[in-house]
Chains A and B, each alone.
Chain A
C-alpha cells in the first residue's frame, strides 16, 4: 500500500505545483490589466467550457462536443472519432502535469471552439473549472 501511496502522492504534488505555477502566471497577466482582480472563478469557467460558439470550421461547437459534460468520462474527437482520455485530473492523473501540454491545448482548443485564442482570464477560469470537476 505504501508503495502505491508514494508515487500517487508525488504525482499529486507535481500536479498541484504545475497548476499553481500556471494559474500564478495567468494571474500576473490579469492583474496587469485589472489591478483589482481577486481570483479565477469556476462558475465563469463552466460557462466558457459549456457554451456553444461558431468555431474555426465555421460550425457550432463547444468544449463539451468532444470532452462531454462529464469530465471524468472519456470523450471523442468529433472530427476524427479518436477517443479522448478524461480531462479531469481526478479521473486522469496525467492531466495538468506539464505547462507545455496545458499551453498547447489551451491555444489549440480556444482556436477550435472560439476561433481566437483565450485571454489570461478565460484560461484561468476554465482551468479552475476543470481541475475542480
Chain B
C-alpha cells in the first residue's frame, strides 16, 4: 500500500512536470494597463521574464529607459510596479523560463534587462549577429519578431520564425 501511494506521487509529479513545461513557458500578461502603457512602445514582456529586483531597477529609471523618456503618471507607475512585483520570475518558478532565468543569474546579479540575463545570452548565442540586428528585428529585445507565439508566453523552438532565415532547428 505504501509503495502504491509512493508510486502515485512519483508518477503524478512526473506528469505535472512534463505538462507544465509542455505549454506555456511563462505566465501570459493579464493586465490591460500594462499592455497599453508598456506595449505602446515595445513588446509587452511577461513579468515572469525578470525577478522583482530587476523590475524595480528598471522602474526606478523610467526617465532614461534604454535611452528614452518612459515616465508615467504617479498612479499608473504605482499600479504597474505592483503588477510587475506580484508576477515576477522568482514568484513563478513553476514556469520553465522564469525558473531558468532566475537560476542563471549570478549571486548578487541584478539584471538590467531580459536579454542580458545569462540564460537569454546562452539561448541566443548561436544565432548569427546580422539576423539579430537586421531592420526586421533590430535587437534581442524584439521577442515577437521571431517568436511568433511570444504574446501567449510560448517561446518554444517550433514557433520560431526568423525573418530572412526561417524556422530555427538546433
Which residues of A come within 8 Å of B, CB atoms?
A: 56-57, 77, 79-82, 100, 104, 107-109, 111-112
Closest beta carbon of chain A to B130's beta carbon, Å: 16
In contact, B43 and A56 (Cβ under 8 angstroms): no
Contact with A along B104-146 (1 / 0, CB 8 A): 0000000000000000000000000000000111100110010
Q: A56-B67, A57-B67 are in contact. Are A77 and B42 (CB under 8 A)?
A: yes
In contact, A82 and B41 (Cβ under 8 angstroms): yes
Stretch in B46-54, B68-76, B87-95 touching the partner: B68-76
Contacts of B73 in A (CB 8 A): 100, 104
The residue on A at minimum CB distance from B145 is A81
In contact, A81 and B69 (Cβ under 8 angstroms): no
Contacts of A56 in B (CB 8 A): 64, 67-69
Bound: A79/B138 CA distance, A: 8
User: Can you list the 9 inter-chain pairs with the closest CB atoms, starting with the nearest?
Assistant: A111-B69, A108-B69, A57-B67, A80-B42, A81-B138, A112-B68, A112-B69, A77-B41, A82-B42
Which of B41, B63, B64 contacts A80 (CB under 8 A)? Answer: B41
Size band of the B side of the interface? 20 to 34
Cβ of B168 under 8 Å from chain A? no
9 extra interface residue pairs, beta carbon distance < 8 Å, beyond A79-B138, A81-B142, A100-B73? A56-B67, A57-B68, A77-B42, A79-B68, A81-B145, A104-B72, A107-B71, A108-B70, A108-B71
18 A-B residue pairs with Cβ-Cβ distance under 8 Å, sorted by A, are: A56-B69, A79-B138, A80-B42, A80-B43, A80-B141, A80-B142, A81-B135, A81-B137, A81-B142, A81-B145, A82-B42, A82-B43, A100-B73, A104-B73, A108-B68, A108-B69, A108-B70, A109-B69
Q: How many A-B residue pairs have CB under 8 A?
A: 44
The DSSP consensus for interface residues of chain B is loop
Bound: A80/B135 CA distance, A: 10
Bound: A27/B41 CA distance, A: 30
Closest beta carbon of chain B to A124's beta carbon, Å: 20
In contact, A79 and B66 (Cβ under 8 angstroms): yes
Bound: A112/B66 CA distance, A: 11
The residue on B at minimum CB distance from A117 is B69
Bound: A111/B69 CA distance, A: 7
Contacts of A104 in B (CB 8 A): 71-73
Bound: A56/B70 CA distance, A: 12
The residue on A at minimum CB distance from B66 is A79
Closest beta carbon of chain A to B49's beta carbon, Å: 16
Closest beta carbon of chain A to B40's beta carbon, Å: 8
Bound: A57/B43 CA distance, A: 21
Closest beta carbon of chain B to A99's beta carbon, Å: 11
Contacts of B40 in A (CB 8 A): 82
Residue of B67, B136, B145 with most partner-chain A CB within 10 A: B67
